[in-house]
Amino acid sequence: MSSNTQDVAPTPSIIVDEVSKNYHVYAKPEDRLKQFVYRRFFKSKKKFYRDFWALNPLSFQVNKGDSVGIIGRNGSGKSTLLQMICGTLSPSTGSIACNGRVAALLELGAGFNPEFTGRENIYLNGSILGLSRREIDERIPAIIDFSEIEEYIDQQVKTYSSGMFIRLAFSVAIHSAPEILIIDEALAVGDVFFQQKCFERLKKLKEDGVTLLFVSHDVTSVKLLCDKALLLHKGQLLKIGDPKVVVNEYIRINAHDESETESVNQVIEHQDEENHHLVDELNHEVERQQEHEAEYRYGNQQALITQFGLYDSAGEKLDGAIQNDEAVEIRVRLEFAQAVENPVVGFYIKDRRGIELYSGNSYYLNSPIGRQSSGSVVTATFRQTFRLAPGEYSLSLGLSNFVDGVSTPLDRRYEAAKLTILADKTIIGLFDLNSTVEFEYLT
């Protein structure tokens, strides 16, 4: 007896297969001419350039309706990858397939003629995105309204600020009925209110089944908006999977620590040998971490956070449940295995969406620990009053050595504990500002 119900395979929107990008770098301008002459007329294989691999062979698939963030340090290959997916750059090896209408916001002003007015550029950019004249006519009021630059729409865009540019470009892109929307850090431009408006629209597009692919250095946005994340490092696909796990790895790479960099290079060397196998292993690791929710911890272990706890004003230990407006102590025990020049200890609180609400450490609080020798043990006590809306939050802890403006992680404990905030009054929003109101009756 067979079942009538069958699992339906997800529909791929983007398929990237063994794609790479190589550039020829010439030491002198005349070397480019030499290369042309030797190849064209002498059929010589002599090279007057050196190879620069902006992106090494990588493969992945984005399914219809997925929201995928691409993160990595500057120069990791993020923009190169997006340009190849959009078709504005050709890969050196491999192939890319996109199934559906693609709208992209890449370089600021791409697809716009600076001599044209904003209105004229809507027609130009809309036609590039595949819209007919009639479709643009129907949508132009909504495009102008969303961009909020109606007053300037008939001026040449060369007079626009970068914020006005991106308002118009984003508005055209989202009104082009894209099946795939690709954004390269464009939303970093503009005021905070328009950014919030854009993210609300992106959420709506995601709900409507549009595939989103975007580059951002804002890891909080990646965790909030994305189902998956890709981590690129030095042209390699280093990690792929759950945004929380991938962002944690990105944070670790950004730490100023030679041992961390060395470990990253070891992973990259393994990636060179067999990229597909690494991606499979990373996906399995993501699944394991999702099954066993635990803190994420790293550091060079020259010193450790060995114990921590929350206590009320009477010194009684709390189990993680905190009453709103309650005075709470966070006590952290530090043990130094080696001498540390300038240790800094701190904590921060995040909400359930991963938004960092508060961060405090001994450096910002002007309370230096001082140089510690091997074998030292120090207890740090942070005192504060929690005024948060009811709900669940996470507590993260960190210990680092801050010397000459460089912070070296000693022990980082991300999401080390869960906090539950209770309240006996209605609080709307994230914080309780303990506001009061007074009235003066004049008549």
pLDDT of 2 reads: 45
Is the overall model pTM greater than 0.75, yes or no? no
State residue 162's pLDDT score: 81
Instruction: Give domain status of residue 234, yes or no.
Output: yes
> Both 199 and 343 in a single domain?
no
Asked if residues 178 and 210 have their Cβ atoms less than 8 Å apart, the reply is yes
In a domain, 125, yes or no: no
Q: What is the pLDDT of residue 269?
A: 46
| Number of residues that this document lists for the chain | 443
Domain check: are 21 and 76 in the same one?
yes
Last residue of a domain, one of 239, 267, 289: 289
In a domain, 385, yes or no: yes
Q: What share of the chain is helix, strand, coil (3-state, %, to 5)?
A: 30, 35, 35
Cβ atoms of 147 and 198 closer than 8 Å: no
Q: Residue 288's pLDDT is what?
A: 41
278 and 349 together in one domain: no
pLDDT under 70 in the chain at which residues? 1-8, 107-110, 186-193, 255-294, 353
CATH number for the domain including 374? 2.70.50.60
- Residue where a domain terminates, one of 289, 321, 340: 289
Exposed / middle / buried, residue 19 (Cβ in 10 Å: 0-12, 13-18, 19+): buried
Q: Can you give the pLDDT at residue 401?
A: 96
Considering the domain architecture, whether residues 194 and 67 belong to the same structural domain is answered as yes
Q: Judge whether 436 lies within some domain.
A: no
Do 281 and 399 fall within a single domain? no
Q: How many domains are there within the chain?
A: 2
By residue range, what is the domain housing residue 363? 297-422
Q: What is the pLDDT of residue 36?
A: 84
Residues 191 and 42 in one domain: yes
Q: What is the CATH number of the domain that holds 35?
A: 3.40.50.300
pLDDT at 251: 82
